[in-house]
Amino acid sequence: MNILSKLMNPRLGALIRKEFAQIRRDRRLAISLVIPPVMQLVLFGYALNATVSHLQLGVVDDSHSAQSRDLIATMTQSGSFELARTYGSVQELGEALSRGELDAGLAVPMDFEKDLLRGRPTSVQVLLNAMNANTAAIGQGYAEGVIQNWNRTFAQGGLHAQFRQIPTNPATRRGKILLHPAFLFNPGLITNWFTVTGTFGVLLMLNGSLVSSGSMIKERERGTVEQLLMTPATTSEIIIAKILPLFLLLCMLVLFAAALLRLIFDVPFRGNLFLVLSGGALCVLCGIGVGTFIATYTKSAQQAQLMAFFINPPLSSLSGSLSPVEAMPQWLQPVTLLNPIRHFSIITRSCMLKGSGMDTLWPNYLALIGFATVLLTLSVRRFRKQLG
């Protein structure tokens, strides 16, 4: 009842209305609450997509046969590769790859069709520009998949050529293992779903810290904090009035960003949407706590930006939101448990993609509640000390 009576206090209501009016008059702050997060979410969702397509392919066709032309057409019609040009020799192809003109190269030997028709094993050489190791690995997978599909199509046409020759012992000829992979929660292997659900938490945390620190520093530079101290409002009412409007506006951003995930990127909502929104609200509180803490240690907007530069990038890179935590060194993985963004990313992905509930995600919610409590307590104490 004590907290409710404070919230119903007319002085606090007047302070909250004053904060909303100040945000409405500050166009830069109002714009920063809406436009940058939306643009960042959309751009990151597309720009950080790990799917690679239309790799520039160079070809050396020494066979000049119907089968070689069919293989080249299959490579380029898949959408993974795009035929850049043909070359007269493998040496010319290698030089083009070294100049960065191509992403991959395909060399077909002279006896390619003859060996296929006679049932002999044959091979084609695939050259990959490994300056970008990730692109090269993806290109290798594309090439292997295209060639395997072409092999099956070629065999179904009535030509029973031996495409692979795997030496085995007689004891191993009794059977074989067939692999039938099943991709759970993301059957289409859509990489955007992992990226945007991770970027969601990063944007809430970063925008919460930047907006809250910027708002408080601007008011301190204008001298309105001293004017508030001359009013009958208590220190607690001033602090609540500073935090509550930003929290409500950023919670609207949580709802808007969740709608973007569904409408633009077609991310499924298999679980409870309230769990995602409540987790986002806790993440926003963590961001406001970080921003308020930064504002109490700096005297200008430039100092706040410099201090945020040393806090926000580590939070983003150690969150597991853009790259899996399992890809990090073993000694670094436990450190990510101290990051609120990681726990919110787990909540978002588990609720949306897996349909998990509170029975599974309660440790992450407890972690977010703990982080929000600690960060807000430290920042409020610092702000109260400044007001004193």
Q: Kindly report which listed range (20-29, 88-97, 195-204, 315-324) carries the lowest average pLDDT score.
A: 20-29
Q: What does the pLDDT read at residue 43?
A: 67
What single-letter DSSP state applies at residue 132? S
Cβ neighbours of residue 27 closer than 8 Å, sequence gap 6 or more: none
Q: How many CB atoms lie within 10 A of CB 384?
A: 14
**Residue 132 confidence (pLDDT) above 70:** no
Q: What does the pLDDT read at residue 176?
A: 40
SS3 121: coil
Hey, what amino acid is at 188? Answer: G
Tokens standing for 78? 């898949």
Give CA separation, 282 vs 17, 147, 277, 321, in Å: 23, 49, 9, 17
Tokens standing for 202? 């990063």
Q: What does the pLDDT read at residue 159?
A: 45
Report the relative pairing of strands 81-86 and 125-128 from DSSP bridges. unpaired
Selection from 31-35, 99-103, 166-170 with the highest mean pLDDT: 99-103
Q: What does the pLDDT read at residue 172?
A: 41
The phi, psi pair for 104, rounded to 5°, reads: -155, 160
Q: What is the pLDDT of residues 222-257, one digit of tens each?
A: 767 667 667 776 777 777 888 888 898 888 888 988
Tokens standing for 272? 């409870």
Beta strands per DSSP E along the chain? 55-61, 81-86, 104-108, 125-128
The residue assigned the tokens 């039938």 is 180
User: Residues of CATH 3.40.1710.10 domain(s) within the chain?
Assistant: 55-151
CA distance 372 to 378: 10
Say if residues 12 and 240 touch (Cβ distance below 8 Å).
Answer: yes
- Of residues 333 and 98, more confidently modeled: 333
Q: What does the pLDDT read at residue 364?
A: 94
Q: Kindly report which listed range (55-59, 76-80, 206-210, 266-270) carries the lowest average pLDDT score.
A: 76-80
Q: What does the pLDDT read at residue 373?
A: 94
pTM: 0.71
CA distance 9 to 258: 33
Closest CA to 148 of 76, 90, 75: 75
Closest CA to 323 of 138, 137, 198: 198
Length reported for the chain: 388
Query: What is the pLDDT confidence band of residue 134, given thresholds at 50, 70 and 90?
Result: low
The residue assigned the tokens 């001298």 is 223
The phi, psi pair for 263, rounded to 5°, reads: -80, -40
Query: What is the pLDDT confidence band of residue 75, given thresholds at 50, 70 and 90?
Result: confident
Say if residues 283 and 319 touch (Cβ distance below 8 Å).
Answer: no
- Of residues 233 and 174, more confidently modeled: 233
Q: What is the pLDDT of residues 316-372, one digit of tens each?
A: 888 887 777 877 888 888 888 999 999 999 999 889 888 888 988 999 999 999 999
Q: What does the pLDDT read at residue 319?
A: 85
**Residue 92 confidence (pLDDT) above 60:** yes
SS3 246: helix
Alpha helices in 175-272 (DSSP H): 191-222, 224-229, 235-263
CA distance 360 to 44: 28
CATH 3.40.1710.10 fits 55-151, yes or no: yes
| Distance, C-alpha 168 to centroid of its chain | 44
196-198-202-208 Cα dihedral, nearest 10 degrees: 80
Tokens standing for 321? 């939101």
Tokens standing for 146? 């295209």
CA distance 133 to 131: 6
Residue 168, H or E segment: none
Q: What does the pLDDT read at residue 128?
A: 82
Cβ neighbours of residue 305 closer than 8 Å, sequence gap 6 or more: none
Query: What is the pLDDT confidence band of residue 167, given thresholds at 50, 70 and 90?
Result: very low
Say if residues 61 and 105 touch (Cβ distance below 8 Å).
Answer: no
Report the relative pairing of strands 125-128 and 104-108 from DSSP bridges. antiparallel
CA distance 235 to 213: 18
Say if residues 280 and 368 touch (Cβ distance below 8 Å).
Answer: no
Say if residues 303 and 316 touch (Cβ distance below 8 Å).
Answer: no
- Which residues pair with residue 85 across a beta bridge? 58
The phi, psi pair for 61, rounded to 5°, reads: -110, 95
